[in-house]
Amino acid sequence: MIILGIDPGLRTTGFGVIEKQGNRLRYIASGTIKTGSEGALPPRLKVILTGVSEIVATYQPACAAIEKVFVNVNPQSTLLLGQARGAAITALVGADLDVAEYTPTQVKQAVVGTGKAVKAQVQDMVARLLKLPGLPGTDAADALGIAICHANSHDALALVGALAPANPKKPTLHMKRGRLV
């Protein structure tokens, strides 16, 4: 299963593509979509929308995961980040992908083992888990970490769904847009 991870940002949006085969994770690609720091907001959001759409078309992921917005000290920054995230999600759902959402703490816990890890620790563990020859950039590492988090969480959610009692009156649990329903 090919998984696309997205680390949204208005200036730089990171992406990471991995493949999960059984218990193995394989690196496929990673990088960034850069919008710059100047210019009007709508064209910058279009760069994110188009960039994510191109990544989806190129790598054909089965599902995607994106980082949840956290409340920043600066409310304006939080709003701008939310809009960048919305552009990325729009591209993903426009391609009919299920989209899971994870907090930064969940991602750090899944990749490093502690939710209080720093970016350098995430970079190092992503490189180790995916057997990369060097450290990925911080935005790409975060996106790969999000994909790794989803690869591990997806299995747990599938197991919960499989263990749910089969009752014809109640449907079994299944994934829908990244949520167990």
Q: What is the pLDDT of residue 178?
A: 58
Would the pLDDT of 70 be above 70?
A: yes
Per the model's pLDDT, the better-predicted residue between 75 and 86 turns out to be 86
Chain segment 115-142, per-residue pLDDT in tens: 899 999 999 999 999 999 999 999 999 9
The set of catalytic residues is: 7, 67, 139
How many Å apart are CA 29 and CA 138, to the nearest integer? 14
Q: What's the rounded mean pLDDT across residues 166-170?
A: 51
CATH class of 2-180: alpha beta
Q: What is the pLDDT of residue 77?
A: 86
- Cβ contact 55:15 at 8 Å: yes
* DSSP E strands, the chain: 2-7, 12-21, 24-34, 63-67, 98-102, 175-176, 179-180
41: left (phi over 0), alpha (psi -120 to 50) or beta: alpha
| Biggest distance spanned by C-alpha atoms of the chain | 56
Chain segment 150-165, per-residue pLDDT in tens: 999 865 555 455 555 5
Domain-wise residue ranges, the chain: 2-180
Would the pLDDT of 54 be above 80?
A: yes
Confidence bin at 25 (pLDDT 50/70/90)? very high
Q: What is the pLDDT of residue 24?
A: 95
pTM (predicted TM-score): 0.85
Q: What is the pLDDT of residue 179?
A: 60
Residue 23 has a CB neighbour count (10 Å cut-off) of 8
